[in-house]
Amino acid sequence: MNTTTNRWSSNWVFVLAATGAAVGLGNIWKFPYITGENGGGAFVLLYLVCIVIVGLPLMMAEILLGRRGRQNPVATMKTLALEHKRSRCWCIIGVLGLLSSFLILSYYSVIAGWTLSYTVHAINGDFTNATPLAIIDLFQHFIASPWQLLAWHSLIMIVTIWVVSCGVQKGIERAVLGMFPIMVLLLLLLVGYAIKTGYFTAGLHFLLYPDFSMLGTQGALQALGHAFFTLSLATGSIMMYGAYLPSNASITKASIAIVTADTGVALLAGLAIFPIVFANHLTASAGPGLIFKTLPIAFGHMHYGRLWGTLFFIMLVLAAFTSTLALLEPCVAWFIERFHASRTRAAWIIGSGIWLLGIANALSFNRWEHIRWLGQTLFQLADHLTANLMLPLGGLLIALFVGWRLPTEVSLLELQLPYHNRLCRIWRLSMRYIAPIAIVFIFVKALEVL
């Protein structure tokens, strides 16, 4: 079955798969720690505003492009541009998307490997009664060992390749259907535990009380950038998943559902994590180590900490895994269509390329730590290059293409919205002005930081 005829078994499954793509390490690992670093409520409020005015409209645009083109992101963009007598150069949106997903997966898989390794540590009870120093040591030792990082990264890649090679319905769909509900259940259990710590209101207050004196320009920019990353926009993944969407599905409703679920999971993750952090008198602003250093310290000292720690890391593995599938799919679909290859062959060839690049990312934590450009390791560069440059650029181009180049009637036909509808007017306003201006703003600032 090729991309043009591949379909999700139902609209509902599409929403689940796209939500699985959006919900990942970005929600559970990155969101709590950048919220912690930026002082809480004010940052969360701004992030929510960005999600609504830029994220949601772009999500709708990307799905509609995908479903209209029904091919891999490069071919979709080329077909749509030529169909409406626009330059074929617009296929750059697809190319940028594929490059971003290739690059993101090469480091995402390394971090996903960490979560897998920490699941094993939690099961073995390695955090139980350990001193904070021992836990920090455990983390430092772990990332200093190239073989361990490589082994876990390889395992994640092999399973991802295998599932994608089984196809859209038999592979991705089944995996997401099995994993996502368990992930949400585990998250709710953890929130339940957080409520019992007695520090739930402290967590709630931290997340929701906006203190604007805590938010600087950098924080504001991070909020917009994270809105992009967390919704998986501009990597071709959402466009690709949209290409498999049945024609009668409502894109508007699906987008609202995906964005709400993604935001909900991020907030729930915050509500599960901060009370645990506060209950153990740890700091919220611990940075990227919040999950791998701070939380194990907390798990080591709480009642049934071994069980809760295990559940937490299993949840993180599942969340990461439904995202790695979405990151691999667009490149695989492109390879299948471009070279008339079988899905299995395409998945293994593309997956091996990503695995190879991932080795460089894994080594950048130890053996290749000294290889730096502008003071950053390969891993940091890959993260910066994708999140701060490629994704905003891709998003900007999508907004410009849909806002100014694709005939409005075509968009409205796909969105099944009448022309004078209020929602439709707001959506067009965002595509034409709000999203491009906001993106150019982060883009310029990100360039300054680099």
- Our finding on whether 22 is near ligand TRP (CB under 6 A) is yes
CA dihedral 32, 267, 108, 60 (to 10 degrees): -140
- Our finding on whether 243 is near ligand TRP (CB under 6 A) is no
Partner residues linked to 376 by β-bridges? 373
- Our finding on whether 326 is near ligand TRP (CB under 6 A) is yes
Radius of gyration of the chain (CA): 21
From the CB of 213, what's the least distance to ligand TRP, in Å?
Answer: 28
Cα atoms in the Cβ-side hemisphere of radius 13 Å centred on 227: 30
- Our finding on whether 19 is near ligand TRP (CB under 6 A) is no
| Binding-residue total with ligand TRP (CB under 6 A) | 16
Q: Which residues, including other chains, have CB under 8 Å from residue 407's CB and lie 6 or more apart?
A: 84
- Our finding on whether 72 is near ligand TRP (CB under 6 A) is no
Question: Which amino acid would we find at residue 313?
Answer: F
Q: Exposure string (b/e) for 337-370, b if CB count within 10 Å is 16 or more?
A: beeebebbebbbebbeebbebbbbbbbbbeebee
Q: What share of the chain is helix, strand, coil (3-state, %, to 5)?
A: 80, 0, 20
Determine the Cα–Cα distance for residues 265 and 250; give it in Å rounded to an integer: 23
Partner residues linked to 373 by β-bridges? 376
**Which CB atom, from 278 or from 379, has the smaller least distance to ligand TRP?**
379
- Our finding on whether 25 is near ligand TRP (CB under 6 A) is yes
**Which CB atom, from 130 or from 161, has the smaller least distance to ligand TRP?**
161
- Our finding on whether 24 is near ligand TRP (CB under 6 A) is yes
Could you tell me if 240 and 67 are in contact, meaning their C-beta atoms sit under 8 angstroms apart? no
From the CB of 302, what's the least distance to ligand TRP, in Å?
Answer: 26
From the CB of 105, what's the least distance to ligand TRP, in Å?
Answer: 8
**Residue in the block written with tokens 């963009």:** 77
Give the x/- contact pattern for ligand TRP in 92-131, rule: CB under 6 A.
Answer: ---------x--x---------------------------
Instruction: Determine the interface stretch with ligand TRP among 16-24, 181-189, 360-368, 425-433 (rule: CB under 6 A).
Output: 16-24
Give the x/- contact pattern for ligand TRP in 191-210, rule: CB under 6 A.
Answer: --------------------
From the CB of 188, what's the least distance to ligand TRP, in Å?
Answer: 19
**Which one of residues 26, 32, 69, 219 is an interface residue with ligand TRP (CB under 6 A)?**
26
Give the x/- contact pattern for ligand TRP in 266-305, rule: CB under 6 A.
Answer: ----------------------------------------
Could you tell me if 394 and 65 are in contact, meaning their C-beta atoms sit under 8 angstroms apart? no
Q: Which two tokens stand for residue 410?
A: 């075509």
Q: Which two tokens stand for residue 403?
A: 């806002």
The contact set with ligand TRP (CB under 6 A) reads 21-22, 24-27, 101, 104, 229-230, 232, 235, 237, 323, 326-327
